[in-house]
Structure 1
Amino acid sequence: MPVFVKSGGMVPTRSKDVTNDVQNPLDAVTLTVAAGATGHASLFEDDGTTSDRKQSTSTDIRYTEGGQLAALRVDGPRRAWVWTWPTGTGRARLPRVSF
């Protein structure tokens, strides 16, 4: 299924296939970034059982670019991240990442 994302947009997906979310917490994320503009996103995760926001967590993601340089900053729980962005010839890895 094609997904259209504007420049600076980000699409987080699980890096691994899982049978269910309850027994498999989100510990590995692939973040696809649409280059071409600066972008910001928040990934909100509830605990799956209550409506108490204190039991939930949020990850703040910022992508900036200028000239030949691009940077990605992720503030949130530690987990395995893979960053990619679509290019005219396939997928490429982001050169600079900070936590």
Structure 2
Amino acid sequence: MESFHALYTKNKQKIEEFLTLDEFDKLFAWMSLEEQRELYEIFSSIYISQLLSHMEVDNVVRFLNDLSDVDTRILLDLFATDKRRMIEKLLAYEPEAAGSVMTKSF
């Protein structure tokens, strides 16, 4: 993780080219929300939506809850219908409500 932080913005952008989504989704899930937001600003919306599609739904919801409503809608519109509906359902809960923190992957 420290190596990642040492990269300049242009080098962070190259992650899209060098790491597969399967490789990067686990790293992204471990990042703080602040680090995730930084990458959201650097990466394309398409790459971010593809990355989020590979992640556990509860991790996606945690990330989307931290974005503005406009940014959340932009990303949600890029998801497949089934996954988008599941995410929207969880986003409707208050952030600390039991329904929002339960894992939907089983």
Structure 2 length-normalised TM? 0.27
- Bigger helix fraction: 2
Structure richer in strand, relative to its length = 1
Structure of higher CA gyration radius: 1
